[in-house]
Amino acid sequence: MSTFEIEGGVPLRGTVRASGNKNAILPMIAACILTDQEVVLENVPDIIDARHMLELITEIGGRVERSGERVSIQVASVKTSEISRALCNKVRTSIMCVAPLLHRTGKATVYPPGGDVIGRRRLDTHFYGLQKLGATVTINGSYDFAMHGPLTGAEMFFDEPSVTGTEHVLMAAVVSQGQTLMRNAACEPHVQDLAHMLNAMGARISGIGTNLLTIEGVPSLHGTTHRVCHDHVEASSYLALAAATGGEIKVEGTDLHAYWMTRRVFNTLGVKIELHKDHISLSGNQELHVARDYDGSIPVIGDGPWPQFATDQMSCMITLATQVTGNVLFFEKMFESRLYFVDRLISMGANAVVCDPHRVLISGRSKLTATTLTSPDIRAGMALLGAALCASGKSTVQNANMIERGYERIEEKLLGLGARITRRD
């Protein structure tokens, strides 16, 4: 098991560049199966989940060539329509290979996907959408999908704006016959980026950036070259960690549109960030106080579908709140286990009350002390790294590989910002 050792008490200062988007690259790799031509992806983050998805491509008979942040993928022929149980267990987005495999072979077999243990994570949107288009599924330990004739466009309404569900059904709809209307679709930046990539491959998707997608099906797609958008969750994580340590940083490679709600949340925690066309600045020496609501009430920071505050940003903001004077309630509406890591913060000295699986009240500012921690999931792991950076003494964060599933070159980036961190295998 790999660990991070952190000597806390050092403000993060300097410049860090945002990596390619984790939640965009994973479905994009699956989308490469839709064509027998070469697809080149640029700005690909070197994270563990992306490596597993690329391994999946080779397992079904595809070719993968990587040079730095540039990856070439070609699935000229598909030698198997079954994704092994081992790979399905490693990465949740293995389920998203079903639609491309149906298009290429008429069938697909996958196993229950792995991923973070943050509560129940429904697959209903995936099944509903594919069945509306004409696919059938048999569940008996594995998920066995089949086509009995061509997939046909349909009008559908999702009971939740599932990100992966929207992306997956979108991949099936673009190669279905006729028109598909997807209502209550997710529209996060990474969903938009996948849609733009599919259009560059010959798909006909309109309504990108809204919750109503209109797709005119095409018989086939072709290759393309596409640059993956930056990771706004990663960028906000570094901003939160820097603010918590009293630091001063600039995050390069960002854009404006992904941070309007993020800035509102930072402002609630008394943090001022400056949004620019291609970077975000956090100035130092800020006195952090929770901004109460206008009627004097304790503010509530809740998550929700885009353009609301992203659930993946919640954990690092909770760590930041422990270093802000005042009271704030966090309301995690999407996953009932996301907040379990707060118990680790309490063991370090954080003044927090876990009201129920979805709500936690943070009262700051708290003096944190070093301890040994275990990373339970990607985002909580990054939040615990942030707590260790704030704490007095040397902390150990175990299960470092969990964090590296979603954050690229963590040790290198934090060292570049002045952190005292060492990775040990």
Question: What mean pLDDT is predicted for residues 47-51?
Answer: 94
CB neighbours (10 Å) of residue 21?
Answer: 26
- Give residue 121's pLDDT: 61
Question: What mean pLDDT is predicted for residues 352-367?
Answer: 95
Token pair for residue 244?
């918590």
Strands 326-331 and 300-302: parallel
**Three-state DSSP state, 265:** helix
* Spatial separation of the C-alpha atoms in residues 80 and 60, rounded to whole Å: 5
Is 116 annotated in the active site? yes
- Give residue 336's pLDDT: 79
Burial code of 361-383, b = ≥16 C-beta within 10 A, e = fewer? bbbbbbebebbebbbbbbbbbbb
- Give residue 335's pLDDT: 77
- Give residue 118's pLDDT: 45
Question: What mean pLDDT is predicted for residues 79-100?
Answer: 93
Taking Cα atoms as reference points, which of 311, 319, 358 lies closest to residue 164? 311
pLDDT in tens, 124-171: 999 999 999 999 999 998 999 999 999 999 999 999 999 999 999 999
Q: Which residues contact 378 (CB under 8 A, 6 or more apart)?
A: 116, 402, 403, 405, 406, 407
pLDDT band of 92, cuts 50, 70, 90: confident
Q: Which residues contact 75 (CB under 8 A, 6 or more apart)?
A: 32, 33, 35, 36, 57, 60, 61, 62, 63, 104
- Give residue 119's pLDDT: 44
Query: Per DSSP, which regions of 124-211 are E strands?
Result: 135-139, 143-147, 155-157, 179-183, 204-206
Q: Give yes or no for a contact between 341 and 376, defined as CB atoms under 8 angstroms apart.
A: yes
Percent of the chain with pLDDT over 90: 92
Taking Cα atoms as reference points, which of 205, 240, 233 lies closest to residue 221? 205
Highest mean pLDDT of the ranges 122-126, 234-238, 376-380, 396-400 = 234-238
Question: What mean pLDDT is predicted for residues 88-112?
Answer: 94
Token pair for residue 401?
């590989």
Query: What is the phi-psi region of residue 107: left when phi exceeds 0, alpha when psi lies from -120 to 50, beta otherwise?
Result: beta
Taking Cα atoms as reference points, which of 177, 194, 205 lies closest to residue 103? 177
* Spatial separation of the C-alpha atoms in residues 101 and 80, rounded to whole Å: 9
Q: Which residues contact 271 (CB under 8 A, 6 or more apart)?
A: 239, 243, 282, 286, 288, 320, 324
- Give residue 153's pLDDT: 97
Structural domains of the chain, with CATH: 3-19+230-424 (3.65.10.10), 22-227 (3.65.10.10)
Q: Which residues contact 339 (CB under 8 A, 6 or more apart)?
A: 318, 330, 332, 354, 357, 358, 359, 360
Q: Give yes or no for a contact between 305 and 340, defined as CB atoms under 8 angstroms apart.
A: no
pLDDT band of 122, cuts 50, 70, 90: confident
Query: Per DSSP, which regions of 59-167 are E strands?
Result: 63-67, 70-74, 107-110, 135-139, 143-147, 155-157
Question: What mean pLDDT is predicted for residues 15-34?
Answer: 97
Report if pTM > 0.85. yes
* Spatial separation of the C-alpha atoms in residues 79 and 101, rounded to whole Å: 11
* Spatial separation of the C-alpha atoms in residues 46 and 158, rounded to whole Å: 32
Question: What mean pLDDT is predicted for residues 65-74?
Answer: 97
For residue 163, the one-letter residue type is: V
pLDDT in tens, 284-305: 989 999 999 999 999 999 999 9
Adjacent-strand bridge partners of 4: 397, 423
- Please check the confidence at residue 310 and state whether its pLDDT lies above 70: yes
Q: Which helix (H) or strand (E) holds 413?
A: helix 410-416
Q: Which residues contact 56 (CB under 8 A, 6 or more apart)?
A: 29, 83, 87, 91, 94, 97
* 267 or 257, higher pLDDT: 267
Q: Of residues 46, 49, 116, 193, which has the active-site annotation?
A: 116
pLDDT band of 339, cuts 50, 70, 90: very high
CA atoms within 13 A on the CB side of 414: 29
* Spatial separation of the C-alpha atoms in residues 139 and 127, rounded to whole Å: 11
Question: What mean pLDDT is predicted for residues 186-197?
Answer: 98
Q: Which residues contact 96 (CB under 8 A, 6 or more apart)?
A: 26, 27, 30, 164, 167, 168, 171
- Please check the confidence at residue 424 and state whether its pLDDT lies above 70: yes
Torsions phi, psi for 286 (to 5 deg): -90, 135
